[in-house]
Amino acid sequence: MSRAFTSEENNEAIADIGERPVSEHRNLVTGEGLAHIDAEVARLRRELAKAEADADRERIALASRDLRYWNARRETAELSEPEKDSDVVRFGMTVRLVEEDGAEKSWTIVGEDEADPAKGSISHVSPMAQALFGKQAGDVVTVSGREWEIVSMSIPAVG
């Protein structure tokens, strides 16, 4: 196999990495989410510069793709902070719920790129967040056939 043929195969593999899909939903973010986007853009710029210096075409392609994604997310980011005196569930709030069997759960409603259900944050476009928006303490919401009562809501401390 000639060296030129091998190089051509590598170029095709690199070209096939595809783009990261960008959500069609509004890109609402918390202050922490906006800081995360900015940190990712800065990190990927450094990564791209290193990859270019090393002439590593695969790393260049991957970093470029991810940088395009995060730049797009930065351009469309809408910082949203809940009103401090709101008595209904809004983006950015932490909501404490009790399931009908007595199990308690707290969720903070955040942007899509910030969401990490294992750490207690859910996307504002998730079914649970959609069911909670506009509700008050004492209201009951049904998600996936399970009933949850809203016990309280709060604005998380920034930190």
pLDDT beyond 90 at 84 = no
Same domain membership, residue 60 and residue 105: no
Residue 148 falls within a domain, yes or no? yes
Give the mean pLDDT of 129-156.
95
Residue 85 falls within a domain, yes or no? no
pLDDT at residue 157 in the model: 77
Residue 75 falls within a domain, yes or no? yes
pLDDT at residue 93 in the model: 97
Residue 84 falls within a domain, yes or no? no
pLDDT at residue 158 in the model: 67
Burial class (CB in 10 A: 0-12, 13-18, 19+), 118: exposed
Same domain membership, residue 72 and residue 20: yes
Same domain membership, residue 72 and residue 15: yes
Instruction: For residue 37, give the DSSP letter.
Output: H
pLDDT at residue 17 in the model: 82
**Largest distance between two CA atoms of the chain:** 72
- Please indicate whether residue 2 or residue 68 has the higher confidence score (pLDDT): 68
Confidence at 85, pLDDT banded by 50, 70, 90: confident
Question: What are the tens digits of pLDDT across the range 121-137?
Answer: 999 999 999 999 999 99
Residue 36 is part of which domain span? 3-79
Confidence at 83, pLDDT banded by 50, 70, 90: confident
Question: What are the tens digits of pLDDT across the range 16-29?
Answer: 789 999 999 999 99
Q: b vs e for 59-83, b when ≥16 Cβ sit within 10 Å of the residue's Cβ? A: bbbbbbebbebbeebeeebeebebe
Rounded percentage of the chain residues whose pLDDT exceeds 90: 79
